[in-house]
Amino acid sequence: MADSTSKKLDFQLYVITGTNYHPGRSMIDVIEQALIGGADIVQLRDKTASKQDIRENAHKLRQLTRRYGVPLIINDHIDIALEAEADGVHLGQDDLSLAEARRLLGPDRIIGISTHSIEQGLAAQAGGADYIGVGPVYPTGTKPGRAAVTTSYVQEAAEQIRIPFVAIGGITLGNVDTVIAAGASRVCAVSEIVGADDPAAVCRAFKARLHAAAPQRSEVQADDFAGTGVIVNGVAQRTTARTVWELICQHRLEDRRVVVELDGEIVVREEWSCTPIHEGAAVELVHFVGGG
Ligand SMILES: Cc1ncc(COP(=O)(O)OP(=O)(O)O)c(N)n1
Ligand SMILES: Cc1nc(C(=O)O)sc1CCOP(=O)(O)O
Ligand SMILES: [Mg+2]
């Protein structure tokens, strides 16, 4: 079955596969780098591969995303999503209808819908979408020929949409602050992440920007989740952080030199994003002030 907690849709950074952007590197390695950097949700999107190859990649990504406790969404193919036990599907305006997709997938799986105007966004929300894509915010080579909706639609979505919405299309580290300023608290990227030499570093940078804009999101998240009881540097507290990396972000230490000890064991930086925070965890966050 799909992972039971996935419907919480507690994400800030959404990464989509794009194998044409990383010739010579395996899709699984690149996406694992994105997960190490803090990507919160992964979509398998492949518009050119055979259905059999997409199916095989879906199974591989299912194993990988499970290891990181991150939801997996399949673009376009409901049958593959069901077979690979993905958490949901993403559908566009010209794909299968939302109503039919819901009938096939049932109430528990995630359905995301692409929207390109506030009318489409409100319709998807009324139709029972779990999240919507808002884009393309900027022109993008990943979806050539599609007119940009600009940050005006991001602003409208922030004002009127009550389900999670994710800004997508041409989003880079160079413009993400503008997208966030327009009202996005979730962003999605393909080329900027999977085409990077260091996808983990790019994801970390995206997460730092998203967190800086909305730190309260990580501190007070789902209404039904009071947080995990932990002891940080000797102080008992509750945290919504699911991983060491999220805890570091909540303590605003993402740009600092930090050594992390969890239950007496050092956690190396490469493992921060995939090391879960458990109830009763004793965490020491030692950061170095100044040079030398
Ligand atoms: C998160 C997200 N938003 C939008 C899309 C685009 O979906 P669609 O319009 O169906 O186009 P294709 O991706 O199928 O080319 C998406 N995949 N994900
Ligand atoms: C797949 C997709 N859908 C979009 C939409 O607006 O519906 S924009 C897009 C491509 C996003 O890729 P990049 O981050 O490389 O621009
Ligand atoms: Mg589609």
Residue type (1 letter), 171: I
Q: Which fold has domain 6-213?
A: TIM Barrel (3.20.20)
Q: Who wins on pLDDT, 126 or 68? A: 126
The reply to whether ligand 2 has any atom less than 6 angstroms from the CB of 140 is yes
pLDDT tens digits for 207-255?
999 988 875 444 444 444 567 888 988 888 778 788 898 888 878 788 7
Mutate to test the pocket of ligand 2, among 140, 187, 206 (most ligand atoms within 8 A of CB): 140
The reply to whether ligand 1 has any atom less than 6 angstroms from the CB of 183 is no
Task: Work out which ligand 1 atom sits closest to the CA atom of 94.
Answer: 10
The reply to whether ligand 2 has any atom less than 6 angstroms from the CB of 142 is yes
Residues 114-130, mean pLDDT to the nearest whole number: 97
Top-ranked range on mean pLDDT: pick from 139-153, 209-223, 272-286: 139-153
Q: Give ipTM to 2 decimals.
A: 0.99
Which residue has 């922030």 as its token pair? 158
Domain ranges of the chain: 6-213, 228-287
Q: Any idea of the CA torsion for 158, 160, 162, 165, to the nearest 10 degrees?
A: -40
CATH architecture of structural domain 228-287: Roll (3.10)
Residues of the binding site for Mg(2+): 76, 95
The mean pLDDT value of the chain amounts to 90
Which of 17, 37, 13 is CA-nearest to residue 25?
17
Stretch among 4-8, 100-104, 136-140, 148-152 having the lowest mean pLDDT: 4-8
